[in-house]
Chain A
Amino acid sequence: MMLSIRFLTRVLLLLLLLLGGQVLAQEPVADDAASTKATGLQVNAEQRTEIAAIAKRTDLLKAQLELNATDDAVLVEIRTQLEEINRKLLASGVSFRPRLETLNARLDEIGDPAEDEPASLADERQNLTAEKTDINTLLGEAEALSLRVNGMIEEIARTRRDLFANTLSRRYDISAAVNQDVWRDLRAESAKVASAVGSWVSFVLNYKLSSVLIATGLALLAAITLAVGSRRVFGRLFVAEPGELAPSYLGRLSVTFWSTLIPTAALCVFLALTWFFYDYFGILRRDIEQLMVALFNVIAVVFFVFRLASAFFSPNLPAWRLLPMRTPAAHTLFWLVFLTALVTAADFFGNSVNEVMRSPLSLTVAKSFFATILVGILVIVIARVRPYEDDEGNPKAWHPLLRIVLYLLGGGTLVAALLGYIGLARFIAQQIVITGAILTTMYVGYLSASAISEIGAFSRSRLGKKLGARFKLDEASEDQIGLILSMVINILVLAIGVPLIFLQWGFRWGDISSWTYNFANEIKIGSFSFSLIGIVTGILVFLIGYFGTKAFQRWLDGKVMARGRVDAGVRNSVSTAVGYAGVALAGLIGLSAAGIDLSNLALVAGALSLGIGFGLQNIVNNFVSGLILLAERPFKVGDWIVAGGFEGNVRKISVRATEIETFQRQTVIMPNSTFINAAVGNWTHRNRLGRVDIPVLAHYTNDAREVHSVLMEIVSAHPQTLKNPAPSVTFDGFTDAALNFTIKAFVADIASTSSFKNELRFQIVERFKAEGIKI
């Protein structure tokens, strides 16, 4: 009980925090101070100039847009600026809101024009209306501008899509690229790069020596801190122990994941800091900066793939491999994957160099040509590797589907490159590396989720043991937590991996979030629409209602009714009734919170209702009988009843049926309608008093009065016989062979009379024998 109250408090606090956070996230209502008309017009004038400035800026951006219709990076920059303009327009529009509210309020106060109003009032109305019209005009200008800006943003998106499609479908002349001139151009470009870097280095050494030393020093410091720190803090997580010969699956997965993630994160932080410090100290020249950024991107991606491959294939530590691969295959695969990433990255970097140095097109084409051919070949070789072992120990190839995909990708790159579609080939090669890396990481996450959901896996893991000790959970609960955790991991893997893939395919974060929002909010199938968020809300509301009802029931039963010394049968009835009512209410509210429009279902339900009605007739009959039983209580749990030909003690009264336990310990489950529609005999309805009837037959030759007095003696002498009502022996009748007597005795507890009846019968037999009365 204690634990559940603490738990409930925590749940409540959490809910309050979440709701509070949501409330705070909403826009605060601006507190408007009473501003005079003069300042009002002043504010309008300021806003007007600002909107004019924004309009000018938009014109400039439009000109830039037309000028740079082929440069993707510039387009992105322009789009960012346009989005900022749009935000500014919206913000300035919102800033008028308090003033508009004041104006509207005052205009409402003043009311409509009347015949005999003072001139000052009419003047004030005129002034207020004028100011309001002014504001409306401004808002109209802002609206027009916002429409224009958003139109430009959409135009940029279209242009970029067209550019992208063009890049993919543009065919280059290979023969022009693969000739002697290329070598000459390559040498020329190398010389240019060398001179550019050289000139920058000398510039830096001569003029910015101190800055560069500080920046480099800081960057190195960051590098050392991150490297040492991550090893110290997380080392246990991601170092694969060579000595461990049979690590658990979960252990291998966790090492794979962390040994990829943590060093890559550390490296990314280091690279970002380096760039930041160099930029801060103004050391970078524009072209050097572009080269450096490209180089850092490339280093990060290659390092990520390197760590992922070395953890996944684990060439040196066979025990830590995720999939059971042959060791030579693991070595081969590791190097192949690493080389693919390296070549693609080098191609990317090379392209940046070409852009910065403004190299001739033939050089770019040639470089990408060879790079993509190499990547295609590497991927095909990967497809041909036979990593597994079949039952006889012979090498076995990849799963056929995977092989086909790899052949297609490698072949596609190769063919595209050979045919001259260099843009397409580059795109495929880059996607192989990046999307492949993301998919592999998602796969590892998925494997972890499956591993955790295995029976007992979570309770054996370190985290599971810690949680179990802290919250004192038993194994069944730990198992269930493991199941939930695995579900959460799967959801996380999808939620992080899929947007990542889309993002680097070129979609925007705004697109992705609005898709998910629309999908979650409304799914339309024909004319029937429902919303995922609504359903989740509905389930949540129902669960809250359900637990609330249970808690209320427990409180009612335990605190209110137990203390009020209410009869056990009444308590049971009230508890059950409250439970039904609560769950039904929770279900109704949950349904309406889910926002499911049931009116469409009503037509179908109407048609089926006749048949269902006939079929459910008896069930509903039983259900209503059950409710009546709860209310009227003709018997309670523990009573001895006779109904429908069965006799026994009532064990449980449910909504449809009641359980009776016969004296032979057989449970008879009787539908409730038998109790309502037919007579029910209850031996213990008001009290447990009852009369025991024992028929006795004596031989005709006996003296009837003597038999009568003997029987009266016997029954009165027994301690369990009640004096009030007094026992009696009736002489019921006689035949030519026997005299019929019946002993009628009242006992206190009619339910336990078997020993009483036995004892009486023993005594009767003994006394008859002793008195010589014949039976």
Chain B
Amino acid sequence: MTKILRIATLSLAAIVPAPLLAATITNLDEVEYTLVIAEGSSQSQVTIGAGQSIEICSQGCFLTLPNGDREVLTGPEQFEIREGRVKFL
């Protein structure tokens, strides 16, 4: 029984690191921000609350912060917003 469990664990371990493609953004400030995301052929607004962490952009997008800064995201990256500015991890 344990052998089959081991083999099952191994197979799962091979499947699980599947491409988790979205970018993760964490808001480290105390205020919430409204980001404008241009993904595909449309723009949308996303609100991220204080201390919240969300996933956006599974295929590359342009991001505009409330203070006018712009960023480009491609793929599984992590970054944080601190004092209204973006910092990549």
A interface residues (Cβ-Cβ under 8 A, vs B) = 7, 11, 14-15, 18-19, 21-22, 26-27, 29, 86-87, 90-91, 93-94, 96-97, 100-101, 104, 108, 132, 135-136, 139-140, 142-143, 146-148, 150-151, 153-154, 477, 480-481, 483-484, 488, 514, 517, 520, 533, 536-537, 539-540, 543-544, 546-547
Contact = CB atoms under 8 A, between A and B. Distances in A.
Contact of B41 (A14, A139, A151, A477): A151
Contacts of B88: 29, 97, 101
A520 B18 contact: yes
Given A136-B69, A146-B62, A520-B18, A547 B6 contact: yes
Nearest to B43: A147
23 contacts: A7-B6, A11-B13, A26-B75, A26-B77, A90-B60, A91-B74, A96-B72, A100-B71, A135-B70, A136-B68, A143-B38, A143-B62, A147-B42, A147-B43, A150-B41, A154-B41, A480-B7, A533-B16, A533-B18, A537-B16, A539-B12, A547-B5, A547-B9
Interface string B1-40: 0011111111111111111110000000000000000101
Given A19-B17, A26-B75, A147-B42, 20 more contacts: A18-B13, A22-B17, A27-B74, A27-B75, A94-B74, A108-B85, A147-B38, A153-B41, A477-B3, A480-B3, A484-B11, A488-B11, A517-B21, A520-B18, A533-B16, A536-B16, A539-B12, A540-B9, A544-B9, A546-B5
A153 B58 CA distance: 17
A22 B15 CA distance: 12
A139 B17 contact: no
Nearest to A542: B9
A742 to B, nearest CB: 56
B13 A15 contact: yes
A27 B79 CA distance: 13
A100 B12 CA distance: 41
Nearest to A94: B72
B76 interface: yes
B43 A136 contact: no
A139 B38 CA distance: 12
B12 A540 contact: yes
A523 to B, nearest CB: 16
The 5 closest A-B pairs by CB, nearest first: A93-B72, A150-B41, A143-B62, A139-B70, A151-B41
What does DSSP make chain A's interface, helix, strand, loop or mixed?
helix
Interface in B39-73: 40-43, 58-60, 62, 64, 68-72
Contacts of A537: 16
Nearest to B10: A11
Nearest to A481: B7
Contacts of B75: 26-27
A147 B44 CA distance: 12
A483 to B, nearest CB: 8
Q: Which of B21, B60, B68 has the most CB of A within 10 A?
A: B60
A93 B71 CA distance: 7
Contacts of B86: 104
Contacts of A11: 6, 9-10, 13
B70 A143 contact: yes
B70 A140 contact: yes
A136 B69 CA distance: 6
A540 B16 contact: yes
Contacts of A132: 69
A481 B85 CA distance: 53
A29 B62 CA distance: 18
A242 to B, nearest CB: 38
A11 B14 CA distance: 10
B85 A104 contact: yes
Given A26-B77, A27-B77, A147-B42, A142 B6 contact: no
A517 B58 contact: yes
A224 to B, nearest CB: 39
A18 B14 contact: yes
Contacts of A539: 12
A150 B3 CA distance: 50
B22 to A, nearest CB: 8
B70 A536 contact: no
Contacts of A154: 40-41
B17 A514 contact: no
A156 B71 CA distance: 28
Contacts of A546: 5
A381 B55 CA distance: 56
A94 B4 CA distance: 46
Contacts of B11: 484, 488
A142 to B, nearest CB: 7
Contacts of A18: 13-14, 17
Contacts of B64: 143
Contacts of A135: 70
B68 A543 contact: no
Contacts of B70: 135-136, 139-140, 143
Contacts of B13: 11, 14-15, 18, 540
Q: Which of A21, A101, A143, A514 has the most CB of B within 10 A?
A: A143
A189 B19 CA distance: 52
A132 to B, nearest CB: 8
Contact of B8 (A97, A100, A484): A484
Contact of A142 (B12, B17, B59, B62): B62
A219 to B, nearest CB: 38
A150 B76 contact: no
B20 to A, nearest CB: 7
A150 B4 contact: no
A97 B23 CA distance: 15
Given A97-B71, A139-B62, A533-B16, A543 B9 contact: yes
A93 B62 contact: yes
